[in-house]
Amino acid sequence: MKHAPGKKSIVSGENLERLKQRLQEPLGFHSYSEIQQWLENELGLTIAYKTVYQLVRYSLGAKLKVPRPKSTKQHPESLSHFKKNFL
């Protein structure tokens, strides 16, 4: 059977390794737009947002973990009370 060669990846080789290392850092990235800017500034690659998302999320299997914001009005005591009595 013949197989179509397909399109080569825009980010490959050493550039892909640099992106993997940057994603594994504790600070990492806060958004896919930030990754897109990093790729343009550091590697000189102009890539669409959708392509960056698919590369990071599906090809590399990484997720951007950003905690939800907490209210400044929230009392620490009520939070611990809620956790104790929730279930």
Q: What is the pLDDT of residues 4-28, one digit of tens each?
A: 888 888 888 899 999 999 998 888 8
| Chain position carrying tokens 């059977």 | 1
Does residue 49 lie within any of the structural domains? yes
Q: Does residue 39 carry a pLDDT above 90? A: yes
Cβ-based neighbours of 26, under 8 Å, separated by 6 or more: none
Does residue 87 lie within any of the structural domains? no
Per the structure, the count of domains in the chain is: 1
Does residue 36 lie within any of the structural domains? yes
Does residue 35 lie within any of the structural domains? yes
Query: What is the CB-side half-sphere exposure of residue 61 using CA atoms within 13 A?
Result: 0
Q: Does residue 51 carry a pLDDT above 70? A: yes
Does residue 61 lie within any of the structural domains? yes
Q: Which domain holds residue 27?
A: 10-65
Does residue 5 lie within any of the structural domains? no
Which one-letter amino acid corresponds to residue 38? W
Does residue 85 lie within any of the structural domains? no
Which one-letter amino acid corresponds to residue 86? F
b/e per residue 22-44 (b: at least 16 CB within 10 A): ebeeeeebeebeebbebbeeebe
No. of helices (H) and no. of strands (E), the chain? 4, 0
* Rounded CA separation 23/56 (Å): 9
Confidence of residue 79 (pLDDT cuts 50, 70, 90): confident
Q: Provide the pLDDT for residue 87.
A: 58
